Structures are given as structure tokens and as C-alpha cells.
């Protein structure tokens, strides 16, 4: 299994930073693994593996069996490799199965930002159609293929949907200016971002800075050269981390506020896998706000050999369940293609100026 390879590259592709999604290298992994009697015939295939964060031997389970376990938790994070068909099919199947066992359910989504909650509520209530909703809510470009089924399910079953994320236009400004940007916001605009941001040193910061610094080990326990000194992060990298935790803390606060105002509800939160892998990111920030919550993580991993699946010890620890997927096609085949793509990303980033 390729630990944190393209799953993270796909997830990180929305982050600020020149060529970031193209620079991320696959991590090395420990040699210990569990071989499974399962395969992934095509890109729509997926396999759910119950590991209980490494506390029990890994074994494959059905969607219904996974839902029986997940329905016992207060909050379930489903990590995704954005635009992976198997991942999105698994998401929908899990939401449906968990809802059957936990009717008092809410959906929370990284894909919608706090300031568009009124548009989302209007659509769920039938006051506006899908086209104006998608425009007002700034729906992602893959909304109709990836997220329409989730929103339509919530609409049909009258489930609340939380627009959990911080506005992307704010993230761009924070990536350029840091938290000094907040001083220019009106009170109602400042409320679209978490009141408190956790920028502390720790495993999550190490992992993020390892990514943006091109560290093949991602700052984790599997780095190939543990003795090699790490170059201090640049100011740009540190501001990128602030932008990242702005997303994490805002999503965590959004979930916490929803739970506080809706006693007895359970929440399924959909986000890119980096935000919830190894119970870090948004997960640890939600836990800090509501320590008594029982939180589960479904973490996607790409299989090196789709006909012979295995789960490493490190992968087993990264989630309550591991969601095994086929590798996506290679984004680029040659160095020339990569260079051209990096150049294009840099040019696009330079055009994205702060609007405030």
C-alpha cells in the first residue's frame, strides 16, 4: 500500500502554494502488513477494512457491518481523495447505512463555506432551484458528480447540512498575510472563521510542513533519513500552515456549534483525507473543543496492487476504518508535463490576489 501518496496529493491540491500538489512525494512505510482476501476490480471499487485505529487485526467488512460500528459514534469523519469515484460511492453508501441506524443525523461538509449557509438552507427547504443554489453556494466544479447525491439525500430525508469551511477568499488572504488579515474584517465577516486557531507545534504541523517542504517522510516516523536536519520553514510555508489550520479549526468549530445547538444529533463530516488522517487536523481540534465526543475516522488509502490488498500497521492506525481504493491514473507522464503544470499553478496563484 502506498501510504499517503496520491490520496494526499489529491486532497492537498486545493491548498495554497505554488505547485504544492505536484511536489508531494509518496511516503515510505513500515514493512509489517496484513494481507486481505479481497481485490478492487476497477476504479469504482472499494474495500472497507475495520482496524479500530490499529487496536484489532484488520479484516474486511461490508457497508452494513461498518455502519453498525460507526453509528455508535457521535461524529464520523469520512476522508476522501477528491474526485475519486470509488471514494464518493463509498461515502454515499456509508451515509445511507448510518442514517438507517441513526435517524437523528446531520451532514457537515468541507465543500461548503460558512457564509453560504443561507443558500444551502434555502435549497434544502425547496425555496430555490439547484442552479441558483450552486451559484450562490459556490459549489465545487465536481458538485454534480461527487456531492449532488449527498445533498439530495439530505434534502429528501430533511437532514441538516452544515456549511463547515472557512471562505476560500479568506484563506487566500491568510496565506499571503497571516492572521493580521483578520483585523480588516467586519464582525459579521470574522464570524465566518473560527474564533480560535491552533497553530501550536506538534505532529500535524510537522506533517504539513513536511509536505510543503518536499520531505518524502512528511515529518513523520517513517522518514528515510531521521538524522538529517530539517531546513527551517519559510515565512510563506508558515503562513500556508495558518491558512490550513484556519480551515481545520473553522470546520471543527462549525461541527461543535451544531452539536451544542442540536442535542442528541450525530454528525457525518466529509473532508479531504488530510484533514482527518491519523485523527489529526480537524479531528483533534474538534476533540479539543468537545473532549467527551466519540469520534470515528474512515481514512482512504490507495492500493499498490488492487488484486492483492494489504494494510500496513501505520495505515491501520490512521483511522477507525481504512477505505482501500484503486490508484488514480498518473496525473503527468513526463518531467516536461510536470514542469508545465507547476508553471501554470504558479501563474494562477499569482493571479489570486487578496480581495480585502
Please report the DSSP string for 71-101 in residue order: TTSSEEEEEE-TT-HHHHHHHHHHHHHHHHH
Span 262-284, average pLDDT = 98
Average pLDDT over residues 199-205: 96
Three-class SS string for 318-330? CCCEEEEEECCCC
Q: What is the pLDDT of residue 264?
A: 95
137-175 pLDDT, tens digit per residue, is 999 999 999 999 999 999 999 999 999 999 999 999 999
Average pLDDT estimate for 267-274? 98
What is the distance between the alpha carbons of residues 349 and 258, in angstroms, rounded to a whole number?
34
Q: Where are the domains of the chain?
A: 6-351
Given this model, what pLDDT does residue 67 score? 99
Quick one: pLDDT band at residue 355, thresholds 50, 70, 90? Answer: confident
* Tens digit of each residue's pLDDT (9 = 90 or more) over 278-299: 999 999 999 999 999 999 999 9
> If DSSP states are collapsed to H, E and C, what string results for 257-279?
HHHHHCCCCEEEEEEEHHHCHHH
pLDDT tens per residue, range 91-126: 999 999 999 999 999 999 999 999 999 999 999 999
The angle formed by the CA atoms of residues 19, 23 and 29, to the nearest 5 degrees, is 155
> What pLDDT was estimated at residue 343?
84
- Give me the architecture of the 6-351 domain, per CATH: 3-Layer(aba) Sandwich (3.40)
Tens digit of each residue's pLDDT (9 = 90 or more) over 235-261:
989 999 999 999 999 999 999 999 999
pLDDT at position 229 is: 64
The pLDDT tens digits of the residues spanning 303-315 come to: 989 999 999 999 9
pLDDT band for 349, please (50, 70, 90 cuts). Answer: confident
pLDDT of residue 255: 99
- Is residue 32 left, alpha or beta, with left meaning phi > 0 and alpha meaning psi from -120 to 50? beta
Q: Between these two residues, 2 and 340, which has the higher pLDDT value?
A: 340
Q: What is the mean pLDDT of the chain?
A: 89
Examine the pLDDT at 220 and tell me if it is beyond 70: no
Tell me how far apart the alpha carbons of residues 319 and 77 are, in angstroms, rounded to a whole number: 9
pLDDT cut 70: percent of the chain above it: 87
**Residue 217, pLDDT above cutoff 70:** no
188: its cell numbers: 459579521
> What pLDDT is stored for residue 228 in this prediction?
58
How big is the CA angle at 86 (ends 206 and 273), to the nearest 5 degrees? 15
**Cα gap 199→14, rounded to integer Å:** 20
Distances (CA, A) of 342 to 24, 95, 216, 346: 12, 36, 18, 6
Strands (DSSP E) along the chain, which ranges?
33-35, 46-50, 59-61, 75-80, 105-113, 161-165, 266-272, 295-303, 310-312, 321-326
The grid coordinates of residue 82 equal: 477528491
Amino acid at each position: 500500500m502506498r501510504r499517503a501518496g496520491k490520496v494526499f496529493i489529491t486532497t492537498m491540491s486545493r491548498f495554497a502554494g505554488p505547485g504544492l500538489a505536484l511536489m508531494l512525494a509518496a511516503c515510505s512505510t513500515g514493512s509489517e502488513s496484513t494481507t486481505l482476501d479481497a481485490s478492487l476490480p476497477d476504479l469504482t471499487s472499494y474495500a472497507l477494512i475495520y482496524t479500530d485505529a490499529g487496536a484489532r487485526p484488520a479484516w474486511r467488512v461490508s457497508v452494513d457491518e461498518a455502519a453498525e460500528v460507526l453509528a455508535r459514534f457521535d461524529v464520523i469523519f469520512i476522508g476522501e481523495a477528491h474526485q475519486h469515484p470509488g471514494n464518493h460511492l463509498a461515502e454515499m453508501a456509508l451515509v445511507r447505512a448510518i442514517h438507517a441506524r441513526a435517524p437523528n443525523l446531520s451532514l457537515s461538509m468541507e465543500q461548503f463555506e460558512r457564509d453560504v449557509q443561507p443558500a444551502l438552507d434555502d435549497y434544502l427547504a425547496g425555496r430555490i432551484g439547484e442552479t441558483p443554489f450552486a451559484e450562490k453556494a459556490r459549489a465545487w466544479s465536481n458538485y454534480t458528480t461527487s456531492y449532488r447525491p449527498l445533498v439530495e439525500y439530505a434534502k429528501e430525508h430533511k437532514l441538516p447540512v452544515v456549511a463547515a469551511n472557512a471562505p476560500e477568499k479568506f484563506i487566500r488572504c491568510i496565506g499571503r498575510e497571516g492572521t493580521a488579515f483578520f483585523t480588516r474584517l467586519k464582525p459579521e465577516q470574522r464570524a465566518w472563521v473560527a474564533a480560535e486557531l491552533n497553530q501550536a507545534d506538534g505532529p500535524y504541523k510537522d506533517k504539513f510542513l513536511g509536505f510543503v517542504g518536499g520531505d518524502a517522510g512528511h515529518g513523520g516516523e517513517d522518514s528515510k533519513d531521521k538524522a538529517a536536519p530539517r531546513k527551517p520553514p519559510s515565512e510563506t510555508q508558515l503562513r500556508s500552515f495558518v491558512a490550513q489550520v484556519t480551515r481545520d479549526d473553522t470546520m471543527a468549530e462549525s461541527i461543535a456549534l451544531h452539536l451544542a445547538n442540536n442535542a442528541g444529533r450525530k454528525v457525518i463530516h466529509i473532508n479531504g483525507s488530510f484533514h482527518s488522517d491519523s485523527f489529526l487536523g480537524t479531528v483533534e481540534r474538534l476533540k479539543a473543543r468537545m473532549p467527551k465526543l466519540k469520534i470515528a475516522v474512515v481514512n482512504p488509502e490507495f492500493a499498490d496492487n488492487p488484486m492483492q490488498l494489504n494494510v500496513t500497521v501505520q495505515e491501520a492506525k490512521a483511522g477507525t476504518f481504512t477505505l482501500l481504493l484503486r490508484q488514480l491514473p498518473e496525473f503527468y507522464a513526463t518531467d516536461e508535463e510536470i514542469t508545465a503544470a507547476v508553471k501554470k499553478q504558479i501563474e494562477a496563484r499569482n493571479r489570486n490576489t487578496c480581495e480585502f
